[in-house]
Amino acid sequence: MKKGVTIDSLVITGISSEGKGVGRVDGKVVFVKETVPGDVVKARVVGKKKKFLEAYAEELLKKSDERIEPFCEHFGLCGGCKWQHMGYDAQLKYKQEHVDENLRKLSGLDLPDIMPILGSEKTSFYRNKLEFTFSNFRWLTKDEIASGEEHVRTGLGFHIPKQFNKIVNINKCHLQSDPSNDIRLKVKAFADAHSVPYYDVKKQEGFLRNLIIRTASTGEVMVILQVHYRDQELIDLMMNYLKKEFPEITSLMYVVNEKGNDSYSDLEVELFAGKDHIMEQMGDLKFKIGPKSFYQTNSEQAHELYKVAAEFADLKGDELVYDLYTGTGTIANFVARSAKKVIGIEYVEDAIEDAKINSEINKITNTDFYAGDMKDLLGNEFINTHGKPDVIITDPPRAGMHPRVTQLLADLKSDRIVYVSCNSATQARDLEVLGQSYEVVKIQPVDMFPQTAHVENVVLLKLRK
- CA gap 273, 171 in Å, rounded: 27
Q: Which is the catalytic residue, given 72, 78, 81, 422?
A: 422
Which element (helix H / strand E) includes 95? helix 88-107
Q: Please state whether beta strands 155-159 and 21-25 pair in parallel, antiparallel, or not at all (unpaired).
A: unpaired
Q: With the CA atoms of 323, 326, 331 and 332 taken in that order, what torsion angle do they form, in degrees rounded to the nearest 10?
A: 60
- Confirm if 230 and 256 have CB atoms less than 8 A apart: yes
Give, in order, the Cα–Cα distances in Å from 224 to each of 110, 175, 381: 48, 18, 42
Burial degree of 43 (CB within 10 A; 0-12, 13-18, 19+): buried
Q: Please state whether beta strands 167-169 and 155-159 pair in parallel, antiparallel, or not at all (unpaired).
A: antiparallel
Query: φ and ψ at 405, to 5 degrees?
Result: -70, -45
Q: Please state whether beta strands 391-394 and 416-421 pair in parallel, antiparallel, or not at all (unpaired).
A: parallel
* SS3 state of residue 343: strand
- CA gap 159, 168 in Å, rounded: 6
Neighbours of 34 (CB within 10 A): 21
Active site residue 422: yes
- Confirm if 263 and 188 have CB atoms less than 8 A apart: no
Strand partners, 281: 286
Handedness of CA 241, 243, 246, 249 (dihedral sign): positive
Alpha carbon 323 to chain centroid, angstroms? 20
Tally of residues, the chain: 465
Which are the catalytic amino acids?
422
